[in-house]
Structure 1
Amino acid sequence: MTDDDFEEFDLPDPPAMDMPEGATFDQASIDALFGDSSSDLPQKSGLRAVIESRVVSHARLPMLEVVCERMVRSFATSMRNLTSDAIEVSLDDIASVRFGDFMNRVPLPCMLAVFKVPAWQDYGLVTIEANLIYAVVDALLGGRKGAAPRKIEGRAFTTIETTLVSKMIELVLREFSTAFEPIAPITMELERIETSPRFAAIAGPTNVASAATFAVDMDGRGGNFTILLPFATLEPVRGKLSQRFMGEKLGGDNTWRDHMRNEIMRTEVEIYTVLGEREMRLADVHSLEVGQTIPFDVTPDDPFEVCCGGVPLARAQIGRQRNHVAIGIVDTIKQGQS
């Protein structure tokens, strides 16, 4: 074949792209599409925003904020009894975060207490900042009130410091369990205390968790601690935590409940018994006369059903009490029992 032979084939033109005239794809456009633009954007865009849109806001668990508010009041009282100081506890923030992002932002050095919830068969995490650790140790060892604790950088926490702070952690878990009682009766047990985020991995890096941060002020000294609960841990009570309006008894009104119970118990119902049944032709029924006897295939010792509104309730036997015909209950009939 020669070059002239190729000229006989008419190749189709490439499809035209619907783009403005002069528009081209550059690296900045590709980065913006995938949300990796180096420019300082107010919020993430592109595919990254679509992927991370799965993060659930804590507003979907409004009862968790109620639990944390209950925790503030009770924990402040317990800390006053422990340290004999004027303690002020406040709830700083409740946010939904990814576990990996939270652990990367934990300020070091700190203590990370891993606790277990046996009722939910899962784990949670309590992080205590260094300022609060030194303040608690200073208060429990009799330090002067109002004096800022001395920080020693570049060393690990001693056994004495870990033991003293563990008392505060046990108070946190006990009061947080008490605050959860209106939602679900649970207990939180301290498993271990770590100082490295690598050894406190209780969930995957992309798992969503709810983080509640509390601030503790002890006469000018103190710091923050955070209770982290993965959403997988809260799954058994997710339905109760998502309710927006709920009282201490989970929405129950004792007055109306007692009133309905009393009225139901005073309601009169009619029960009846069927001593026997027999199928007869219409002609035989039409020919019945006064004094005629209809035999049934039952004996006086055979049990019969006691019904109410067509629903069988029990089996009984016929008898007599004084001058009245009576029945004695032999067995009850459960719902669905034939």
Structure 2
Amino acid sequence: MSGSGSEDEDLAAAWGAALEEEGAQPEEQAAAPLPADAARVLNQAEIDSLLGFEAGPSRDRAESGIERIISAGLVQYERLPMLEIVFDRLVRLMSTTLRNFTSDNVDISIDAMTSLRFGDYLNSIPLPAMLAVFKAEQWDNYGLIVVDSSLIYSIVDVLLGGRRGTAAMRIEGRPYTTIERTLVERLIGVVLGDLRAAFEPLCPVDFRFERLEVNPRFAAISRLSNAAVLGRMRVDMEDRGGRIEVLLPYATLEPVRELLLQQFMGERFGRDSIWETHLAEELRQTEVSLDVVLDEQTMPLSHILRLNVGDSFTLSSPPGAPVRLRCGEVPLFEAQLGRRENRLAVRIERERRRPVMEEGA
């Protein structure tokens, strides 16, 4: 019993010493200065928290049937065939202008074109990014261009003389510098110029750069529940690159909605001038028959049935009266009847136009 009592006392003393050391450890750590290498790069969640931008609602919760119907009805919008052609034209134009802008090989492709709610898109923007707000002057509304961080650092690296074949260094967790913002503004100016040229065959419109934002909350150009069209484009510059996203609310496209709904029929955006010219030339070569009407009379059918070969009847028009030329039931000209080289001939004197009521009918 005496041996076990001494062991219990030793354990109690050791446990008390451990508690004292553990209680003193936070004070020692707080007093000790942080090492120089203790700084670390913020992750995406911490950046969102610093900017006051929280993630969207969780999709883990099971939605009811009514919620699914409402959500589906708000996302399904009409398809705009001509807008897809405009974005295809934008990709071709940007492939050339960005090569001249960066003096590097640039490959651009469209990842997707989707319709979604504006609020859902703001919640899905990966930060950090730069959001350029621009205004369509003739349409009196706004649009959005989003450049992700990968493309930002790639453009900065290329324009400042970075070596080819090396990936651009990304330094996240800090605000963008003035040089980076200026270079991205130049890139946005190039994209807006190509976007104006892409819409030019459809309708003239000028896109004016408004401002550059890094927080999606400050780039609210539409109501969160409004519909918008999003075009995602991938820009590859050898081992570097990123994404450019162009968002146009349906309210912005409303002035040209009828034009965007038409089908694509050739490079003339809905018209084929070659076919129109060929059709016009063939119509001019078409042969038509003309009838010379000397007189028109109304008589009973029984009298017509009694007519025989050699019978004659008197015309109501006097000699030398003008005759009418018709093509089917359409009156064309008035002419004088005469003779030319033992053949009857007519000389056209004036054109006959149908009355307005008859043309409308």
Change (3 A) 1:300 1:124: farther
Aligned position for 1:116:
136
Q: CA deviation at 1:228?
A: 1.0
Q: One-letter code of the match for 1:97?
A: L
Aligned to 1:336: 359
| Partner secondary structure for residue 70 of structure 2 | helix
Looking at structure 1, the residues matched to 129 and 317 of structure 2 have their Cα atoms a distance apart, in angstroms, of: 90
Matches within 5 A, 1:34-45: 40-41=60-61, 44-45=63-64
Deviation for aligned residue 1:156: 5.8
Aligned partner of 1:236 among 221, 241, 258: 258
| Counterpart code for 2:359 | G
Measure how far apart 1:188 and its partner are.
Answer: 4.4
Alignment partner of 1:80 out of 99, 111, 114: 99
- Are residues 116 and 275 of structure 1, via their aligned partners in 2, closer, same or farther at CA, if it must alter by over 3 Å? farther
What corresponds to 1:193 in structure 2? 211
Q: Could you tell which deviates more after superposition, 128-137 or 317-326? A: 317-326
Q: Does structure 1 residue 309 correspond to structure 2 residue 328? A: yes
Q: Percent identity?
A: 35
Q: Which moved more, 1:142-151 or 1:265-274?
A: 142-151
Task: Give the alignment of 1:165-204 within 5 angstroms.
Answer: 165-179=184-198, 184-195=202-213, 196-198=215-217, 200-204=219-223
Distance 1:337 1:64 in 2: 36
Of Structure 1 and Structure 2, the greater helix share is in 2
Task: Kindly state the Cα deviation for residue 212 of structure 1 after the two structures are TM-superposed.
Answer: 1.2
1:205: how far off? 1.7
Aligned-pair distance for 1:46?
2.3
Distance 1:236 1:105 in 2: 30
Query: Are 1:209 and 2:228 matched, yes or no?
Result: yes
TM-score by length of 1: 0.65
Q: Distance in 2 between matches of 1:115 and 1:84?
A: 29
Q: CA deviation at 1:226?
A: 0.4
| CA distance, structure 1, for counterparts of residue 337 and residue 181 of structure 2 | 77
Secondary structure, counterpart of 2:60 in structure 1: coil
For 2:351 and 2:208, locate their aligned partners in 1 and report how far apart those are by CA, in whole Å.
54
Report the CA distance between 1:255 and its aligned residue. 8.4
8 A Cα contact 2:334 2:351, kept in partner: yes
Residue 326 (str. 1) matches residue 347 (str. 2): yes
Deviation at 1:149, TM superposition (A): 4.7
Uncovered stretches (5+) of structure 2, i.e. residues with no partner: 1-56
- Contact 2:233–2:245 (Cα < 8 Å) also in 1: yes
The two structures, once aligned, show a CA RMSD in angstroms of 4.5
Q: Secondary structure at the match of 1:336?
A: helix
Which residue of structure 2 aligns with residue 54 of structure 1? 73
Cα pair 1:113 1:169 within 8 Å, conserved:
no
Contact 1:127 1:227 in 2 (8 A): yes
Deviations 1:82-136 (A, max 9, x none): 1112223232332221012212333344132324163x66543212224323432
CA distance 1:87–1:260, shift in 2 (3 Å): closer
SS at match of 2:186: helix
**Cα contact 2:291–2:326 (8 A) shared by 1:** yes
Kept in 2, the 8 Å contact 1:317–1:328? The answer is yes
Structure 1: 5+ residue stretches without partners:
1-36
Q: Which has the larger radius of gyration?
A: 2
Displacement of 1:253 after TM fit?
7.8
Aligned partner of 2:151 in structure 1 is 132
Q: 1:91 to 1:38 in 2, by over 3 A?
A: closer
Letter in 2 for 1:85: D
Distance 1:297 1:81, change over 3 A: same
Alignment partners' CA distance in 2, 1:273 and 1:80: 69
In structure 2, the CA distance between the partners of 1:337 and 1:249, relative to structure 1 (3 Å rule), is closer
**SS at the partner of 2:262?**
helix
